[in-house]
Amino acid sequence: MTSIPATTPTVPPSAASLPSAAVPASEGSDGSQLHAPVTDWFDAHARDLPWRRPEAGAWGVMVSEFMLQQTPVSRVLPVYEQWLARWPRPADLAAEAPGEAVRAWGRLGYPRRALRLHAAALAIQERHGGDVPREHGQLLALPGVGEYTAAAVASFAYGQRHAVLDTNVRRVFARAVTGRQFPPNATTAAERKLARALLPGDERIAAKWAAATMELGALVCTARSPECGRCPIAARCAWKLAGSPPHEGPARRTQTYAGTDRQVRGKLLAVLREALAPVPQAALDAVWDEPVQRARALDGLVSDGLVEPLPGGRYRLPRT
DNA sequence: TACCCGTGGAC
DNA sequence: TGTCCAAGGGT
């Protein structure tokens, strides 16, 4: 659990910046009616996750954020524990070959994240003396750190006041405030504006609010079957008050996987992760029978820096 | 902006 | 069984 105390929100940010249609007039247009119910719910129901414990530190928070990108908590937990035990500081990871990060990433998926986390550790070592930077702009400049991750690290690790907009928060706001079942496909300027307007003015409370809205989206206001009976703001939820209307607009495109280059890349990289020595071409050829696609996938892995080709047609995870 | 990038569990 | 979904980032 986080140690941030539950208190009453202080003076909210400018209500004038909020889109007039976004919040019912009766609510008070700053979202302050939502803060206490959500943060109180968080105090009572938040999961005890290792990266939320004080001993995780900023590095632990950062590692968890990389791993959690598009990946469920349950799959991250064991890899996170092994990772932090092996590389407890950025300098420890920076001293390793990037291929070891890819190997330790295991089957989390999107292995480029492992490469970027390794590159971020190098950058932290070189640019910040081995300490995860505190400033949002410095975080954003690190490899693999985008708008969400920079805000998340600044908020969760350092208790700063940032709008943290992940898929959970976007869904919670879409429903509770905007009255829609799902947020837009891509994050919009209106969503950023709304998130800033709803952010509590007090730094500590804002950080708790960020974690609490994410947790609410992850545990209660879920994509498929929200449990409104357990929601602390159900009585104020614009979508529920409107009768829970179904999603309108373009269907969110469903990504296929079987037969794609991504699947082939995954199979190729799995062979290299398990291998303790350079792998001959024939071992890679065995994972996919279509030679053109297989070659394209391998080329992609090499150009991404995930695979290092050696003389004689052998391959391994990158040493440099 | 739209698309690419892994993996596996839930329904 | 196939679809949907998961704490996004880079290009």
Residues facing strand C, Cβ within 7 A: A 49, 51-52, 64-65, 68-73, 109-110, 116, 143-150, 152, 166-168, 171, 214-215, 217-218, 222-224, 251-252, 254-255, 257
Chain B, protein-covered positions (CB within 7 A): 1-9, 11
CA A299 / C1′ C7 distance in Å: 31
Contacts (Cβ under 8 Å, ≥6 apart) of A47: A73, A215, A219
Q: For residue A214, what are the CA distances in angstroms to A135, A163, A209, A272, A310?
A: 22, 11, 8, 36, 45
Once rounded to an integer, what is the mean pLDDT over residues A32-49?
A: 97
- Got the DSSP string for A193-213? HHHHHHS-SSHHHHHHHHHHH
The residue ranges of every structural domain in chain A are 28-254, 261-311
**Residue numbers of A annotated as active site:** 65
Whether A179 and A238 have beta carbons less than 8 Å apart is answered as yes
Nearest nucleotide to A267 (CA to C1') is B6
Contacts (Cβ under 8 Å, ≥6 apart) of A34: A27, A176, A198, A233, A236
Residue A87: the pLDDT is 98
In CATH, the number for domain A28-254 is: 1.10.340.30
Per-residue pLDDT band at A250 (split at 50, 70, 90): confident
Does pLDDT of A319 surpass 60?
yes
Least confident of A89-93, A102-106, A247-251: A247-251
Encode pLDDT of A277-310 as tens digits. 999 999 999 999 999 999 999 999 999 999 999 9
**How many C-beta atoms lie closer than 10 Å to residue A143's C-beta?**
15
> What tokens were used for A265?
């890349």
CA A5 / C1′ C11 distance in Å: 41
What does the mean pLDDT of chain A come to? 91
CA distance A104 to A32: 43
| CA-atom Rg of chain A in angstroms | 22
Q: What is the DSSP letter of A252?
A: P
CA A187 / C1′ C8 distance in Å: 11
CA A109 / C1′ C2 distance in Å: 21
The identity of residue A36, as a single letter, is: A
Q: Is the dihedral of CA A119, A122, A128, A133 positive or negative?
A: positive
Encode pLDDT of A96-151 as tens digits. 999 999 999 999 999 999 999 999 999 999 999 999 999 999 999 999 999 999 99
Q: Which of residues 27-66 of A touch strand B (CB under 7 A)?
A: none
Tokens 């081995």 appear where?
Answer: A130
Once rounded to an integer, what is the mean pLDDT over residues A253-258?
A: 81
Residue nearest to nucleotide B6 (CA to C1'): A109
Per-residue pLDDT band at A182 (split at 50, 70, 90): very high
Long-range CB contacts (within 8 A, 24+) of A46-49:
A46/A1, A46/A2, A46/A211, A46/A212, A46/A215, A47/A73, A47/A215, A47/A219, A48/A1, A49/A73, A49/A77
Encode pLDDT of A235-245 as tens digits. 999 999 999 99
